[in-house]
Amino acid sequence: MLLQFHPWASAVEAPFWQVLTQRKMDVFKLDDSPKPVMGYYSTGQQVKIPGKDTTVALPARLCLGPPAFPDNDPNVSSGYSPDVLNRFLLITFADLKKFKFYYWFAFPALVAAPAWSSDAMQDVSQQFSTAQVDSLRGHLEQYRQIYPSSQHGFFLIKQHDLTVARLQDWDTFYAGCNDDQIIVAFADPSSLDSHPGWPLRNLLALLQFRWKRTNVRVFCLREVPGKSDISFSKIFTATLEEYAPVTEIPKAVGWEKNAQGKLGPRLADLAPLMDPIRLADTAVDLNLKLMRWRVLPGLQLEKVQGTRCLLLGAGTLGCYVARSLLGWGVRNITFLDSAKVSFSNPVRQPLFDFVDCLEGGKDKAATAAANLRRVYPGVIATGISMSIPMPGHPVSAQGYEAAQKDVARLEQLFDEHDAIFLLMDSRESRWLPTVLGAKKKKIVINAALGFDTFLVMRHGVGQDKETSYGTGSPLGCYFCNDVVAPTDSLSDRTLDQQCTVTRPGLSAIASAMAVEMLVSLLHHSSGIRAPADRADTDDQGATAEENALETSTLGLLPHQIRGFLSRFKNLLISGQAYDRCTACSDSILEAYDSEGFAFLLKVFQDAKYLEDVTGLTRMKEESENLDMDWDESNDDEMFSDDD
C-alpha cells in the first residue's frame, strides 16, 4: 500500500496579519528580505459531533498567530535540530492600503524515489498494553521536560523499555539493539485513521539518507490537547522496496493549493472586519511613512503631526492650507473666521459645498472644520466664529467688553497652538496676531495674494535679544517694511475691493508653499530662529555650500517667498526685523506688556498711535523738516489679502 500523507492546511489567525502590519510599518519598512516566522500545530485531533456517536477528523492545521515573529532570530536550523524537517515558507504581500493580504504557503517535502509503502495503521492499543502506553507517556513527559520544544516534533522510542531519545542520539540510543527495537516517532498533525501527517515525509527521507533504513516502525503521536492521553496515537511500518542511495537533492513538493484547489495565493481580506476609521488611519500613516522609508530617513513625521495649527481665516488660503496640513498628517487644526459661506466661495475654497451657502450661508470656521472631519475623521478640527480686533477700527463703549473677550480668547488660542497661519482678508487684521506671535514666540506663517503674485513668509520672533544670530539680525515680520501703521482699509470698500481678485490657481500654490515652509521650519535644527536661506542662484552673498551647513532636512528655508505666476517664478527674499516696526518691535511688545488691553484699545481707536509709540511719528516729522521725499508706498498694491 503506497504511503500517503495528510497534507497541511494553513490556518492564519487575523491577529497575525495585524502584527505583520505593525512590523512592516514600524520595523521592516522597505526591507523585503526573508524574515523568520514561527507556526504551531496540534497533534491529530478528532472532534465528536454533539449528540452523535461519530467523530470528525480535523484538518492538519499549521497555525500562525500573533507570536509568530520571534523577537530574536531563533536560528532554528542549527545542528541536528529536527525543526529543519518541519520547515515552511510563507510568501505574502500585504496591501496595507486596502488591508488585503495575499499569501501562499509552501511545506517543502522531499520526494522519495521509489516511494515508501506501508502496512495498515494500527491503534497504539493494538500493539501496546495499557501499562506500556502509560510507561511511554511517562517517558515522553520526561523527555519534553528535558529538551526544548524544537526537539518535540520528532524523537526515537526503544521497543523493549519504551524509553525516548532525540533523533541525534540514534547511534548511542540504539547501540547494541536489533532493528526491531527501533521505533521512530513524530508529533502527527493528521487525524485520519489511515494516513500519517506531512511531517513524516522529511523524517523518512532523513532515515533513508542518514541511516539507510528501508524498513521502519513509525509511531504517530496523537494526543488530546491538554490531557495526558496518547491513546489516539497510531503505529505502522513503512517500507522501501529496495534501498536506493540518495545521490542528489531529491525533488520537493509542498505548495499549498488555494481555496479554488489551484496552485496560487490565497487572499485574506481584513477590511470588512476592521473599523473603517482605523483603516483610514493606517492608510494615511503608511503614505507618510513611505516618504521616510523611501526618500528621507530624517523626516520627523511625528513632530509635524503633533504641531497644533491655528488658521486665522477660512477663505481660499485657509481651506487650501488645511488640506495640505491634512496631507502631512497634522491632527490638530483650528479655524478662526467671522464670515459666512457665500455663493462665490465653494469654487475657490476647497472645504465648502454649494449647500453650505444656502439660507444666508453657514459659519465659515465651523463648516470648514466639519468638512475637514468629513474628509478624515481622525482630525481634531475646530471652528471658531470670531473677528479679530483691528487698528483703526474703533471699539464703541458697548463693544468694549466683547473686544476684551476676543483678545483674551485669541491669547488663549495662541497658547494652545504651536503654529499660527495668517490667512485673512485685510492687512490690519494681521496686526494683533503678529503682536501676539512675537510676544509668545510662536511660529507665524503669513500668506497673502495679489492678482498673479503671492507672498509667503515666516515671521521672526521680534527683536529676540535672547539669541545671537550668525547673520547678526533677527528676521522681520509682515509689518517690518512699513513706516505707516495698518489702519482701516475695509470700510466703504467698493464691489471690486470686497473680494480678492486673483488668478484662481494662485491660492492653491501659495497655501501649499506656506505649509511646506512650516514643515521645512519644523525640520530645521534652529526652528523658529533659523536664519534665512536664499536661493543658490541669487547674488546676495551666501553660496549653496554655506547655506547647506544649516538647512532644513527638506531643503532651503527662506524667510519670504514672493511668487510671480505670470513668469512661473519665485523669488526668495529675506528682511530684517525693524526696530520701529508697528507690530513686533520692543516698544510695542513692552507697551502691551505693561498696559495690557488698554494699550490695544488706544490702537483700535486710532492706528496712528502705533506710529507715536514706535517713534515713527517723530522720525517722519524730522524727515519732513529736512524737506525730503517720504515714500509712503507699501506692498498693498502688489499683495492684497484673501477673502
List the catalytic residue out of 309, 499, 581, 584.
499
What is the separation of C-alpha 121 from the centre of its chain, rounded to a whole number of angstroms?
Answer: 54
Coil, strand or helix at 234: strand
Taking alpha carbons only, the member of 577, 486, 478 closest to residue 529 is 577
| b/e per residue 298-335 (b: at least 16 CB within 10 A) | ebebeebeebbbbbbbbbbbbbbbbbbbbebbbbbbbb
**Any idea what DSSP says for residue 25?**
I
- How many C-beta neighbours within 10 Å does residue 148 have? 9
Name the pairing type of β-strands 154-158 and 164-165. antiparallel
Q: Which amino acid is at 319?
A: C
The backbone torsions φ and ψ at residue 86, rounded to the nearest 5 degrees and listed phi first, read -120, 30
Rounded to the nearest angstrom, the gap between the alpha carbon of residue 101 and the centroid of all alpha carbons in its chain is 18
Q: Closer to a second copy at the Cβ: 373 or 529? A: 373
For a second copy, the closer of residues 386 and 508 by Cβ is 508
Compute CA distances 386 → 314, 365, 383, 426, 443, whole Å: 11, 9, 9, 15, 21
Cell triple for residue 218?
Answer: 513509525
On whether the CB atoms of residues 523 and 300 are closer than 8 A, the answer is yes
Judged by CB, which is closer to a second copy: 196, or 329?
Answer: 329
Residue 151 or 500 with smaller CB distance to a second copy? 500
User: Shortest gap between Cβ of 499 and a second copy (angstroms)?
Assistant: 6
Beta partners for 562?
A: 455, 571
Strand 46-48 with 55-57, pairing: antiparallel
Distance CA 551, CA 579 (A): 27
Of residues 283 and 598, the one with the C-beta less far from a second copy: 283
Is 177 marked active-site?
A: no
CB of 100 to a second copy, least distance (A): 10
Least distance in angstroms from the C-beta of 571 to a second copy? 9
- Using CA atoms, how far apart are residues 549 and 605, in angstroms rounded to an integer? 47
Shorter beta-carbon distance to a second copy: residue 324 or 382: 324
User: Among 201, 147, 237, which Cα is nearest to 6's?
Assistant: 201
Nearer to a second copy, 245 or 272 (CB): 272
Counted residue by residue, the chain has a size of 643
In the complex, minimum distance from the CB of residue 526 to a second copy, in angstroms, rounded to a whole number? 18
Q: In the numeric block, which cell numbers belong to residue 131?
A: 501499562
Q: Give the C-alpha separation, 508 to 317, whole Å.
A: 7
CB of 568 to a second copy, least distance (A): 5
For 537, residues 6+ apart whose C-beta sits below 8 A from its C-beta are none
Quick check: 419 and 442 in contact, CB under 8 A?
yes
Cβ–Cβ < 8 Å for 435, 596: no
Phi, psi of 154 (to 5 degrees): -140, 140
> Which of 119, 130, 155, 86 lies closest to 230, judged by CA?
130
CB of 391 to a second copy, least distance (A): 25
Q: Closest distance between a second copy and the C-beta of residue 494, in Å?
A: 7
Element (DSSP H or E) covering residue 435 = helix 431-440
Of 148, 169, 155, which is closest to residue 218 (Cα–Cα)?
Answer: 155
Minimal distance in Å, beta carbon 535 to a second copy? 6
Q: Which is nearer to a second copy, 116 or 320 (CB)?
A: 320
Residue type, 382: T
User: In this complex, which beta carbon is closest to a second copy, that of residue 539 or of residue 629?
Assistant: 539
Q: How far is the CB of 375 from a second copy (least distance, A)?
A: 5
User: Taking the CB of residue 54, how many other CB atoms lie within 10 A of it?
Assistant: 7
Q: How far is the CB of 326 from a second copy (least distance, A)?
A: 5
Residue 640: CB partners within 8 Å, gap ≥ 6?
448, 449, 450, 500, 501, 502
- Smallest distance, Å, CB 339 to a second copy? 11
**Nearest approach, Cβ of 359 to a second copy (angstroms)?**
8
Question: What is the C-alpha separation between 631 and 626, in angstroms, rounded?
Answer: 14
Nearer to a second copy, 295 or 626 (CB): 295
Smaller CB separation from a second copy, 191 or 426: 426
Phi/psi of residue 27, nearest 5 degrees: -120, -60
- Is the CB of 135 or the CB of 342 nearer to a second copy? 342
Question: Nine-digit cell at 560?
Answer: 519670504
d(CA 211, CA 217): 14
Show the cell assigned to 387. Answer: 473677528
Just list the catalytic residues: 499
